[in-house]
Chain A
Amino acid sequence: MKNSQFFRSTAGITLMAAALIVLPFVAALGGQAWVRILDFAILYVFLALGLNIVVGLAGLLDLGYIAFYAVGAYTWALLASPHFGLHLPIWVILPIGGLLACLAGVVLGSPTLKLRGDYLAIVTLGFGEIVRIFLNNLNAPINVTNGPQGITLIDPVTFGDFKFSGTTQIFGIALSGPQKYYYLLVALAILVVIINLRLQNSRIGRAWQAIREDEIAAKAIGINTRNLKLLAFAMGASFGGVAGGIFSAMQGFVSPESFSLIESIMILAMVVLGGMGHIPGVILGAVLLSILPEALRYGVGPIQMALFGKMLVDPESLRMLVFGLALVLVMRFKPAGLWPAPERKRESGEIQQVTAK
């Protein structure tokens, strides 16, 4: 009995691993653009899992998460580009990016510890906007961020002589840049999933969940709510920082535009739509919400052409319209998310603030 379960789970994992390995080659059949979309999907998985620590586990509604991503991205951009003439190796930059983001998390966390629910949401939102405005304007009097133009020619990820941009031959197989990043990102994402799983079942994770369910009760049973909330912010932020660094290297270009409020909201939507606090759900949400708009980009135009023989409405706005509708519909029919944690499902029926009848 136990043995067969073991085999079944090993078989499942092997199957999933095989699928993950083959995926970029399948995507490459449709062009490298699709591999890049996959890369971003996994980057969003990374980000969503980071935010899941803050929102899903600790129950702190953070609408400024993208700020930490921005800190990481700009750290990489400044330390590995011709902008300052610095080209530090990944071993230096990525930890610095993570640490700076972590610090930003603490800076944001400490004044907001007293705040609850929606007040916290608006303050984190404000913080995100402050970071973006500074990135936009710190080009004078000293040019730090190069303003709205952003920073270009950022170094790709390199390990020794192995570069992640351009095509290389490995064992006779040609691997394109996006495909190499894909494997790097998958490796990182697996690491984050493991950290998340371990955290969830640890003392800290249980303490976070206690704070989420009832902060006063958590305090009463001796949980240091202040430190743990700070820890949640710091931990979520450092994931954001590391993801930002990779993003910056992968794109070769950063500008404040990539770090607007809508991005924060998007990541939050991934967490909530997938199933807050439930790791498989969050991964599902991130993959769906990052691929859906891209798939729509390719789908909406041709479908219109096929149906009506001409473009009736601007495909760009139609694509976002469908995306917005999808958010509304999923929430309407799956209020706890697409793949909620078992205990959340039970809970969702209980919270009855308004009894409509």
Chain B
Amino acid sequence: MDIFLQQIINGLVQGSIYALVALGYTMVYGIMGLINFAHGEVVMIGTLVTITVASSLIKAGMPVALAGLAGLSASVLVCMALGWGLERIAYRPLRNAPRLTPLITAIGMSIVLQNLAMMIWGRNYMTFPSLLPKVDFEFAGANFTMIQVIIVLVSAATMGGLLLLVYRTKLGMAMRATAQNPAVASLMGVNINRVIAAAFIIGSALGALAGVMVGGYYEIAHYQMGFMLGLKAFTAAVLGGIGNLAGAMLGGILLGIIEALGAGYIGDLTGGFLGSHYQDIFAFVVLIVVLMFKPSGLFGEKTGDRA
């Protein structure tokens, strides 16, 4: 039982991170129908910027908490600029192109960003500075740490804030209108370019936050870390029904928990035949099974049928 609870907690933490990244995918997809493959790299750059800024500030003698905050703000700012730049330079000229064209552009940008990061930060693994005191809690036989609690709380607060933004503000209304029908939205006086740019900027900011969390959680970072994380987060977004904000959040958390439980129990389930290194399979198997019965994800609406 305590293993079960422990895995649920681990899954919840990992899932919160997935959810934050998945929101970036789903916002962009909901508004312009584009899989922004480069989003994982944005998250990676968020992590690496934090490492650079926070480490050098700590070395310069700044208090750890302050340096951490400075690192976080720097990474959010850099990623917002990056998201805006991506949209402006790479995707905006392709608004009227065939559907697969922006996908290839996104893949190209992902390759570019990854290699830029390698040029800047090098090939080696980097250690994330420890910004938080290591405090352990115990609850019903399961252990969890300060950082885990913070990750879950901050993500929950951020997601709440995002829902408020989308459903209670004028910008949010414009976003929902654009998602439904860009042409009509622009006739109603919505500035589509600004709305799409906003989606990219907000998504990237969430990605930066997730990047800092991943870094703080695993205490290690690498220029290739964005790829798998992005893939998983995208899987989560699809699982929940892509384009749907609540779906991305639930999909992320569900995926995190399924993965954690899968990794914890797969050995027992298969009599030791399959080990925990099959963890990654769980995400995809669950995805395939869910989509077999709910072809538009758990909460999604029908999408277009063209490749």
A49 to chain B, nearest CB (A): 17
CB pair A269–B295 under 8 Å, yes or no, is: no
Of the residues B32, B275, B292, B303, contact of A117 by C-beta under 8 Å: B303
Residues of A near B231 (CB, < 8 A) are 125, 129, 261
Interface: A230 (CB within 8 A): no
Residues of A within 8 A of B193 (CB): 356
CB of A123 closer than 8 Å to a CB of B: yes
Interface set, chain B 5-54, CB cutoff 8 A to A = 29, 32-33, 35
Report B-chain residues with C-beta under 8 Å of the C-beta of A134: 281
Q: Chain A residues with Cβ under 8 A from B297's Cβ?
A: 119
Interface presence of B183 (CB below 8 A):
yes
Distance between A201 CB and nearest chain B CB, rounded to angstroms:
21
Decide if A24 is an interface residue (CB 8 Å cutoff).
no
Q: Please, which residues of chain A bring their CB within 8 A of the CB of B277? A: 133, 136-137
- Minimum CB–CB distance for A124 against chain B, Å: 10
Q: Which of B145-180 contact A (CB under 8 A)?
A: none
Q: Which of B92, B287, B295 contacts A114 (CB 8 A)?
A: B295
- The answer to whether B98 and A116 have CB atoms under 8 Å apart is no
Is B62 at the interface (CB under 8 A from chain A)? Answer: no
State whether B99 touches A351 (Cβ < 8 A). Answer: yes
The A118-139 residues at the B interface (CB cut-off 8 A) are: 118-123, 125-127, 129-130, 133-134, 136-137
CB distance from A123 to the nearest CB of B (A): 5
Question: Are B101 and A328 neighbours in the complex by a CB distance under 8 Å?
Answer: no
User: With A118-B35, A272-B104 as given contacts, are A354 and B192 in contact (CB-CB < 8 Å)?
Assistant: yes
**A335–B278 CA distance with the chains assembled, in angstroms:** 39
Q: A59-B306, A327-B111 are in contact. Are A133 and B95 (CB under 8 A)?
A: no
A331 x B102 contact (CB < 8 A): yes
Complex contact A332–B105 (CB within 8 A): yes
Nearest A residue to B286, CB-CB: A126
Q: Determine if B182 is an interface residue (Cβ-Cβ < 8 Å).
A: yes
The answer to whether B291 and A314 touch across the interface, beta carbons within 8 angstroms, is no
User: Which A residues are CB-close (under 8 A) to B303?
Assistant: 116-119
How many chain B residues have a CB neighbour from A under 8 Å?
66
Proximity string of chain B (279-300) to chain A, C-beta cutoff 8 Å, 1 when within and 0 when not:
0110111011001100111000
Distance in angstroms from B69 CB to nearest chain A CB is 31
Bound complex: CA of A262 vs CA of B92, how far in Å? 25
If A130-B281, A328-B105 touch, does A114 touch B292 (CB 8 Å cutoff)?
Answer: yes
Is A66 among interface residues, defined by CB-CB distance under 8 A?
no
Task: Name the A residues within 8 Å of B35 (CB-CB).
Answer: 118, 121
- B113-121, B127-135, B203-211 - the one binding chain A: B113-121
Do A127 and B284 touch (CB < 8 A)?
yes
Query: How far apart sit A134 and B280, CA to CA, in the bound complex (Å)?
Result: 10
- Cβ-defined partner of B284 (8 Å) among A130, A326, A344: A130
Contacts of A60 in B (CB 8 A): 307
Majority secondary structure, B binding face: helix
Residues of B contacting A353 in the complex (Cβ-Cβ under 8 angstroms): 32-33, 95-96, 182
Interchain CA distance A60-B304 in the complex, whole Å: 12
A355 touches B105 (CB 8 A): no
Q: Among B105, B112, B182, which residue has its beta carbon within 8 angstroms of that of A354?
A: B182
Pick from A114, A118, A314 the residue with the most CB of B within 10 Å: A118
User: In the complex, what residues of A have CB within 8 A of residue B65's CB?
Assistant: none
Among B96, B107, B186, which residue has its beta carbon within 8 angstroms of that of A351?
B96
The B254-285 residues at the A interface (CB cut-off 8 A) are 272-275, 277-278, 280-281, 283-285
What interface size band does chain A fall in? 35 or more
Which of the residues A59, A133, A214 comes within 8 Å of B307, measured between beta carbons?
A59
- Separation of A283 and B235 alpha carbons in the complex (Å): 32
Partner of B107, one of A114, A118, A327: A327
The chain A residue with its CB closest to the CB of B292 is A111
Interchain CA distance A276-B104 in the complex, whole Å:
12
By the criterion CB–CB under 8 Å, are B275 and A137 in contact?
yes
**Known interface pairs A123-B288, A331-B105. Does A354 touch B97 (Cβ–Cβ under 8 Å)?**
no
User: Which of B118, B238, B280 sits near A317, CB closer than 8 Å?
Assistant: B118
Residues 326-357 of A, flagged 1 when their CB comes within 8 A of B and 0 if not, give: 11100110011000000010011101111111
Interface residues of B (CB under 8 A from A): 29, 32-33, 35, 90, 92-105, 107-112, 114-116, 118-119, 123, 182-183, 186, 192-193, 196, 231, 234-235, 238, 242, 272-275, 277-278, 280-281, 283-285, 287-288, 291-292, 295-297, 302-307
A-B pairs, top 10 by smallest CB distance, nearest first, are A327-B108, A324-B111, A126-B284, A335-B97, A324-B112, A61-B307, A328-B108, A317-B115, A321-B115, A354-B182
22 contacts between A and B (CB under 8 A): A61-B307, A117-B99, A119-B238, A122-B235, A125-B231, A126-B235, A134-B281, A137-B274, A214-B305, A273-B104, A317-B118, A320-B115, A324-B109, A327-B111, A331-B101, A331-B102, A332-B90, A344-B98, A352-B96, A354-B182, A355-B95, A355-B96
10 additional contacts, CB 8 Å, given A59-B307, A116-B304, A321-B112? A114-B295, A119-B242, A136-B277, A212-B306, A215-B305, A268-B104, A317-B119, A321-B119, A324-B111, A331-B97
